[in-house]
Amino acid sequence: MSAKTADKIATAVIVTLAGVIVLILAGLLGFIFVRGIGHISFDFLTSPPETIKEGGGIGPQLFNSLFLLVLTLLITIPLGLGAGIYMSEYAKPGKVTDFIRLIVEVLSSFPSIVVGLFGLLVIVHFFGFGFSLFSGALALTVFNLPLIVRITEQGMKSVPVAQKEASLALGLSKWKTIRSIMLPIALPIILTGTILAAGRVFGEAAALLFTAGMSSPRLDFTDWNPFSPMSPLNPFRPAETLAVHIWKINSEGLAPDAPEIAAGASAVLILTVLAFNLLARWLGRVMHKKFTATK
């Protein structure tokens, strides 16, 4: 067989496999959207389950998911940025640094159910935070922190060495160089990875079953006191997220229209995660153009 023929066969195989994957993904998304889009309405997105006939409505669950996402990012981003900058610029090469990187890789491959059990034993019971949004945010921090660390480290290492050396040669301190030169250049990569991690947080369910809980108190959206048990801004209340709600309503089967509710909630979840991914790509391009002066 000639090299040209082998190249054509390999190209055909790769294109075929890629096409199969795209068709499977498109079929899955199409199936979810066809089943769920018709059930989505303004009342479905804003009302609690008990206020709509036959058990529909995902308003509190959608709010809980967004609130949990914000809490998780508030904890994860500072820790991940700090650890990534340290690993990239301050950690000396050696066995200790290699061991830390190995631990980060192991943590990033942990099944979410294991992270949930860890959160149940340590965060919920040992530290006594109970089933709450804060417990769920801490568990998801363990789940997403390795990803943010790796993305930050890779983003910092992507900065051209010449720019870093030029800044140091001009007399800028190392921290000033990192803050004013390296971080702006690495920001598009870090921002893109952070938003992708946020999409993972939004769709997580297994870890939250054991930390955030599977039920929510009746929320009073006129009470914005974060210390009130009924306030939606209280981070120490139990909270059922959208992904957990999909699992729960399918497993219990108490609502007469449970399949329709689950289908609508699944479509909303997929659209939200898709929006996060599109936002990541758009912001990445905008930030890259801004800091590299490209058109």
Cβ(139)–Cβ(115) under 8 Å?
yes
Report the C-alpha gap between 124 and 208 in whole angstroms. Answer: 11
DSSP H helix total and E strand total for the chain: 12, 0
| Residue 55 confidence (pLDDT) | 55
| CB proximity list for 280: less than 8 A, separation 6 or greater | 191, 192, 195, 196, 199
pLDDT range class, residue 2, cuts 50, 70, 90: confident
* Per CATH, domain 40-292 is 2.40.128.20: no
Give the mean model confidence (pLDDT) for residues 106-126.
Answer: 87
Domain positions in the chain are: 40-292
Give the mean model confidence (pLDDT) for residues 54-75.
Answer: 85
Residue 294 has pLDDT above 60, yes or no: no
Residue 23 has pLDDT above 90, yes or no: yes
| CB proximity list for 221: less than 8 A, separation 6 or greater | 232
| Residue 133 confidence (pLDDT) | 92
Least-confidence region, from 118-122, 184-188, 242-246: 184-188
The structure tokens listed for 219 are: 């929320």
Map tokens 């758009």 to a residue: 282
Give the mean model confidence (pLDDT) for residues 182-188.
Answer: 84
pLDDT range class, residue 56, cuts 50, 70, 90: low
- The residue count of the chain comes to 295
